[in-house]
Each structure stands twice: as structure tokens, then as C-alpha cells.
A and B are shown apart, each in its own frame.
Chain A
Amino acid sequence: MIKTLTETEIGRIAADAVTELAQRAVNGAPIYSYIDTCPLAWNALEEGGWDSIGASEADGGGDATLRDLVEVGKAWGTACIPLPLMETIWAKRWSVAARAVGGPVSLSVQRARQGDQSSLAPFGSLAGVGIARSIGGDDSFERGPVGLAEPFAPSLCASILHYSTEMSGEAAYELAVIWAAEAVGAAQTLVDLSVQYAKDREQFGRPIGSFQAIKHRLADMHSDAEYAETSVIWASMEREQAERATLYALDTSIRVAESAIQVHGGMGLTWEVGLHFYLRAILTQRELVTGLWAGIRS
């Protein structure tokens, strides 16, 4: 049936708040300048209660639905700030101990690669983050930094561990949706950055966005970012379709990131312009989500 797909009020409020906090913290600075020295204090997120909006009201949370967390994930993914906000929201939704322990929390996922028993923990190399041994059981946390740093995606501060966090299939499903939503937020930012660049950058005496070769690529990027968003919303509303829908959202977001680099030409290749930080984050999120689904199936 033709359904309504909108989020509830708490999702809208939290997404707006997170966007504003991130924007104020970043204050227009280029991404490479804040990726190593986080511009936002964890306290600011905790004081607003934004880290516990996913818990029930009885547990002091905001009763956000998974559909709401898609909006928050998108908003947070837009900024690429190196803090485990979404992981903490998810952990506090599922774990009594995570709600009690305070401070940022993250987790570890078994990688879905042949001949590889290692696990990947986003924010595992960040000091003060509690990496969960399990979520939804008799949970305990190991204070970071833990394991061997995995620096591929600087905004995710990941590390490689020899254990993965135990969790239920339902919890893993929700986490897959949340990470895919972050990737979609990054893709939307990349569309905005590329459109702005194509308006500003001139060659042959005209803005390059006036050329159909660029314009059509940007139109496809806009469309892809829309499908990626729709796909992750679908995943949040239909559990049984969520594996293919989250992976489609991630693959499509990666395609957007590749196009963003192409539209930026030589600038897109530079470390400082920093489009690669988004691409690296999305690629890592795909690896994590793939690992989650492999875990759910086994």
C-alpha cells in the first residue's frame, strides 16, 4: 500500500540539533583541518541528551524510532566528525550497561573476508571510547584505545581487534541501517559540494556546471543520492528487505563519491580538499555493514 515515510517529531528535532551542533563546531573549516583534532566535545552531545534519543522514555531516552535514527544518521554523516555518536545512540538503545556507563561507546564487527578472522572497531583507536564486548546481554566495555590502529578512514578512527561484539540479529539490523544512513548523509554533502564547485569553477570562460557533460553527471549524482536515501528509508521500514536495501544505499553512495571527485577535477585528487575522507568513510561503512549481514546470516 502507498505508505507515509516521514519520521516522527523526535527524529526531526534531533537531526536539526545534530546538524546545528556540527555546523557550529566545524564553523566552515575544511575537513582535513579537523579530522585529526575533533572540533566538538563529547559533552556537548551528552548534555543535550542526543546520545540517548534512541532509548525508551522509561530509560531516560527520546523514544526515537529506527526511521528517526535514519534522519539523525544522515545529519551526522554529513559532517564526518570523528566521534561515535551513532554507535553510542545505538548502544544506549540496546544496552542497560551502555546507558549506565556514560561517555561514548562503540563496538567491533567481524569482517566478512575469506581467511580473515579479525574484527573492525570504529573509534577503537580513540581514547576514552568504551568498546563493547556484547550489547544486550551482560555487557562490559574495554576503554580505548584498543587493538591495532586501522587508519584507512580517518574520520572513523578504527582499530583491528581479535573479538567482535555479541549482539542480537535485530540489534545488528538496526546498526546496519544506521551506518547506511550515515553514508547517505555523506553522499548528500558530496552532491552539494560538487554543485557548488561546478558553479564557481570557470573554464573556457564559463562555469563548468553549464556544460552538459558536467550537468548530466551532477543530475545523476542528485538522483543517486535520492535513491540511496529512499533505499535506507525502505531498509528502516521493512526488516526483511533491509540487507539488499542497505547495501544498495551504500553502493550508490560510493558511486556519488566517485563522481564528486571527477567533477572536482584535479582539486578532487588532493588531500586538502578532502573528498576522499567521505569516500573512505563510506567504503568502511560498507565493509562494516557487509560484516553485520554476514553475522546475521550465520
Chain B
Amino acid sequence: MTGRRVALVGGGVGPFGVRAATWTELVQEAGKVLFDRLPNLSPKEVDSLFVGAAQPERFAFQSHVAPLVAELLGISPWKVVQRTELACASGQSAIRSAYACIAAGLSDVAVAVGVEKMNLPSMAEANTSMADVLDRPWDGVHGATAPPFFAMCAQRHMLEYGTTAEQMARVSLKNHRFANSNPTAQFYAKTFTLDKLLATPWVSPPLRLGDCSSMTDGAAAVLLVSEERARRYTDTPAWIAGSAQHADFHNLANMPSLTHWTGLERAARELYRSSGLGPRDLDLAEIHDCFTISEIIEYEELGFCPKGQGGRFIEEGQSELGGKIPVNPRGGLLGCGHPLGATGIAQAVEVLDQFQARVPPARQVSGAEVALVHNLSGSANVHSLMMYRREN
């Protein structure tokens, strides 16, 4: 690690779901939660703004959104202002950009906002936008959206490693159960059973509706500051301890393997090297369960278990509270929904809340001090990782 230390000192998440609210209204909701939580923060001291939004042009017919968010939150940034786009990892990109700017001395007080409005009058239109995340004229044109792509990963993982539909459903069951203690989750207070999940309709076989995260509306916001300012806002910041990313292909023909996500394996190695922390140090992980199979493959590439044993890892309860590494206590993308730009920010807020012991007991990891956050984007062709720790 080089540069100044950077702390995440506050966060706010608005209600996720199929919302009767516009893109602009979602931003206002999340911004209010952030500023209400930080009475010592005036919007006028925020020198930089980063807006993580994947497709405002298509979902809200609005580009150049950073000044819109600044206006809504009363921020007049004078150091750095930008939007970050990395599909499903747009939110983490906003945090990473803020982190880089603060570490480099270009900013001292930065807000990162993530937002997506995905439920439109025509969902076919929204699905069209989701298909342009992949290689639109060569893969999307055939009907490649996320579900059939991750379905192929699941099919090969089942074939090569013996992973079962029941193991996949157990990922969904765990994350929905966690979401039951998260009032901002799309599936808050909704009860699922294994049998119920295994009987949901097919989306893209072998993936059923219960294996898929949702098209969700939502927003979230965090405050990041330089080391010397951290204690002004909280006694318990989340310090950024490391970060890594990897991108390796675009067209599906050029993916090295459907089941062995080498890019994630490589990014994880770099994260563990740069932070000096490894899987054994983790108290919890917030990882990208856009589909149940994603979480299973991620266990393996992140080194939580040996390659091919992700199915067994969930079956044995190793990712539950009290297991080897509790995974997605927030409720995951499966339980909270997946408003693309907001997801990465909401995951970071969960880490801060876990460190500050302010989540309900049903999902609180006691004494949480080290946490990993992962987002994949597109066809798992980009992996974004961050490491947080409670002590500086």
C-alpha cells in the first residue's frame, strides 16, 4: 500500500425493491440516510463526488449524472467529480476511485453514491439494456443476457465437479434468510424454504428464478475521508486495507473457462498480497451472488475452499454465521436485489455496519474486524475486490 490511509466513515442505503420512485428520487433517499447518520458532515465540506451508475442513459434516459447528484445532495465538489461505469461493479468503482484520489492527495472528503433504476414500464426494454453489457453485436444478438451465461457456468460446474441444484438453492436460502434481518432488502420479511426455491420456475436451465438476483431499484451512499479526518465522523471507521481488479476478455469465445474464473483467482492473489491479509483472516465476506452458481465459484477462486468444492462449502454451512467465513450477511444480491450501481456501495455499508456492530443479531458477526468485498461484472470478465479492516 502506498499513499495516505483512507477510511470509510459513514454510509446510507435506501430501500431496495420494485420502487414507485424515479432514479432521481432514489438518490435523494440514500443521500438523506447518509447525511442523517453523519450530523457532523456538511455537504459543503465534501470536496469530491463519485457516482456509480451503470446505465442511466438507458434506464433513466439521462447522462452526465454527476452534476445531477451533486445538485440533489447539496454538494459543490471542487476537487474531483465523475461518474464511474463498470456494469454490476459500478458502485465499487466509485469507492475505488474515491479511495485512489484520497490516497494520492487529490481529495480529502469524498462521497460515493451508487444508484440504478431498473424496473421500467417495459421490462423487455430493460432486458435489452442488460444484453448490451455482453458483446452486443456478437453475443447479445443471439440472446445472451446474464441468466443464460451463468446457466452455462452452472451446467459445466455441475458436470465437472458434481455441484447440485440443491447446493445452489442452499446459497439462495442462506442469503434470503440473512435478508430477513435487513429492512432495506428487496426480499425483507419474505420466507423461503429449500423446497420452495427448488420449485420456482425456470429462467435459464439449470437456473431457476430462485437462483437469480432481481432487477431492482435502489441507491446507497458512503463517505470516505483521509486518515487525519476520520475521527471527526466516527470512532469506528472501516479502513481500506487493499484493492485489486482484473479484466481478461469480452467476447464469450475468449473466456478461458466457464468454471475456473482465473481472473478472480489472480485478483484475489493480488488483494491478499497487497493487504497482507488472507482468507484465514476474514471475519466476513460480501461477494457477488448475482446467481447462486456465482457465489459457489467465488468461494473457490477466493480460496475459501479448494477448487471444485464450493458446493460442499455451502452444504456444510461454512458460509453461514458461525461457519468458516460468513458470506453475504447483508442478504446478498439474491436477498437484497441488485440495483447495479448501488450494490457495491451497499456492500461497503454492510462492512462498516458490521464493524460498528449496528446490524441485527441475526446477521451480526461478533467482533468483525476484517472483511472482503467482491463484485464481478458482465460475464464474470471483470472482478473487483476490496479489503477493509477495523483497526488502522
Chain B associates with chain A = no
Residues of A within 8 A of B (CB): none
